[in-house]
Amino acid sequence: MDKIKIIIVDDEKLIREGLKIILSTYEDIEVLALCEDGHIAYEFCKSNKVDVVLMDIRMDNCDGVLGTKLIKKLNAETKILILTTFKDSEYIEEALKNGASGYLLKDSSYDLIYGGIKAAFGGNIVVHPDIVSKLVVKENDRDDSLIKEKLKEETGLTERELTIVEEIANGLSNKEIGEKMYLTEGTIKNNITTILSKLALRDRTQIAIFAFKNNLIK
């Protein structure tokens, strides 16, 4: 069985070592290294194949935002999963812009972190439901139907495509979206290709950011 090769990046030694002990108990996870900041992680990635980087967002020498930018520029295939707190919404948004695959709270259960690693490795967006609202600019008199109608006019997206955008931002895989919308996985893939083309975006992460920016997340 091929293991998912990960590194853990955090400036707190106890957190790094604690995560390593727990995550090493999963048969399909291999912890390659523990790194104190984003730059050390970047240097490790230069000479080693890393599948997923589990990265703290706040670190003194090189934080998770810069670390994400450096590593994604080095190898776009490496997935980066951010560990954050409720207070870090601006950092989260910047990390997503620079290619992070999602974010989890630092006090998430180990099973949730493990599931996040698996999801990120599989190419999905990982979002913690408790902090999605922190990334969305809420409007006092928000009218969801008006927001969607405006986006349809501006982007050419259909109602179905907007729904798929929402579900991507909610962290669902193509299969899960298909099951929820009673469509085949292939149909969802085709719709996502169309969405990327209409919005001139590169990948699912950018679709999620689009959803956050346009208040599509409830």
pLDDT digits (tens, 9 = 90+) for 36-64: 999 999 999 999 999 999 999 989 889 99
What total number of domains does the chain contain? 2
Please state, in angstroms and as integers, the Cα–Cα distance from residue 35 to each residue in 32, 70, 140, following that order.
10, 15, 43
Domain end residue (candidates: 135, 156, 174): 135
Is 218 inside a domain boundary? Answer: no
**Are 127 and 150 in a shared domain?**
no
pLDDT at 86: 61
Q: What is the pLDDT of residue 137?
A: 46
Q: Which of 72, 103, 135 is the last residue of a domain?
A: 135
Q: 83-97, 100-114, 198-212: which has the minimum mean pLDDT?
A: 83-97
Q: What is the pLDDT of residue 134?
A: 54
